[in-house]
Chain A
Amino acid sequence: MLRYLFYVLLVKPLVLVLLGINARGREHLPKSGPAIIVANHNSHLDTLALMALFPWRVIGDVHPVAASDYFLKNKFLKWFSLHVIGIIPIDRHPAEKGASVLAPLVHALRDNAIIILFPEGTRGEPENMGKLKNGIAHLVSSCPNTPVIPVFFHGLGKCLPKGEFLLVPFFIDAFIGEPLYWEGNRLGFMEKLVNKMNVLQHKARQSTG
């Protein structure tokens, strides 16, 4: 209930009215879970912008994956992140190496969730893609039939850059690519994903000058 209120009263007006989004390739977005959305990460607004791209019908299934050291650091933020935004917390610096870090994500995908993942791991320089972490490949290898949809955002790093709390409106562009699927090996998958993100980034550069 809180999540729907948040979506209708804050996410939609903020992203669609205050900012304004021009999405290309919207038909590639999944109509239902399970699916993994992969995007570049420049701003806290990335998550909200992605949520706004989904219709009311599926928003209940959409869950951003976020670092527990940041989003669970105090009581209020924890309550807000878990119950209002609906994040799935993961441990960025696990004490022991292993697949257990990804277990909550695998679990969510089995429940037909649409999860949002930022494989750069942290918010980088605006409109630039940092190096992708390969946790995503581990995740897809455990759920091999799940489509992975790459999304590149342009402009959000200008609206609310890292370390800034004042939001300044700009029109933003979203480029949504065709879904990728697991084909049996991690390196190959990562290569495909990086290529796909580069193509989308190139499109963004071309159309925004």
Chain B
Amino acid sequence: MSAALPHSVQIAFIAIGVLLVVASLISMTLQRLKPERDYTELRQRIKTWWLIVAVFAVAVLFNRTVSVVVLGFVSFLAFKEYLSLIPTRRADHRVLFWAYLAIPVQFYWVWMGWYGLFIIFIPVYVFLFLPMRMILIGQTQGFLHAIGTLHWGLMITVFSLSHTAFMLVLPPEHNPAGGAMGLLIYLVFLTEFNDVAQYIWGKSFGRRKIVPKVSPNKTIAGFLGGVITTMVLAVVLAPWLTPLTQLESIGAGILIGIAGFVGDVTISALKRDLGVKDSGSLLPGHGGLLDRLDSLTYTAPLFFHYAYFLHY
């Protein structure tokens, strides 16, 4: 497996590993220097990052089947978390079953590399099928709410996230520097980096709130600082992992920076509406899976189509 890995991908994983080791050492030192303060959440968070990186490495480094199965399972967990969070009607039990079935089918199109069906299956066929199945049950009370929330969840957790898997089946000869997995590593790394950068800029310089009703901790300084830092890193990493030119990589950085922010606050709005703090408890220190994947639900499809339009 490692024989076929481009050098840039090997370096990328070594760099991520080094970053995590540094983060772990810092959190351990902090706890030792200030034993009176409780750093449990920070340490949990970093521990969970190790798990996330391990799962991501398995998803990316083996072969197409492993990638599709792992990323499909992540989609399944995200959709399940969403459905567990929202109110559903008892009458829709079997409709939800069909909605779940869309996940393996969608990832099967990915595995085949069938772009045409991958891109229309959920937005067209599933979109038209699920309301029909609901109507066969016949409960009209709450129909619009039920079908609206169900389809929105499928689009966010399955359709959007399946773009991460389709990046791995794009023809690698279009990306000589990064090979088959370069594009996805670039996207995921920049998306997560952008989250952290916006947080740090906001904590350090943030004053004016950007969306006070949805996410009172987000500030204009955090947003702008994050976008600019992400853009700089996007330009630096692009020649190693992607076929993007320098100008194109500036655009990719801005796109990921802005889209990541919008994805983050969209999931925040969902949680606020439902009156919950975290979307779940799957990732200790982070909350639920959607708390971690929120930005990616926006950056994955948008960056995919940006790169797809320019180079594939």
Contacts and interface: CB of A to CB of B under 8 A. Distances in A.
A85 to B, nearest CB: 24
* Interface bracket on B: 20 to 34
A170 interface: yes
B100 A209 contact: no
Interface residues of A, number: 13
Contact of B93 (A20, A155, A164, A171): A164
A166 B94 contact: yes
A20 B90 contact: no
Interface string B83-102: 11100101001101100100
Interface stretch (B122-130, B137-145, B238-246, B273-281): B273-281
A171 B81 contact: yes
Interface in B273-299: 274-276, 280-282
B86 to A, nearest CB: 10
Contact of A20 (B80, B275, B276): B80
Contacts of B282: 20, 171
A161 B90 contact: yes
Contact of B88 (A158, A169, A171, A209): A158
A170 B79 CA distance: 9
B83 A170 contact: yes
A22 interface: yes
B93 A22 contact: no
A163 B96 CA distance: 17
Contacts of B76: 169
A137 to B, nearest CB: 33
Contacts of B274: 209
Interface of B: 76-77, 80-81, 83-85, 88, 90, 93-94, 96-97, 100, 274-276, 280-282
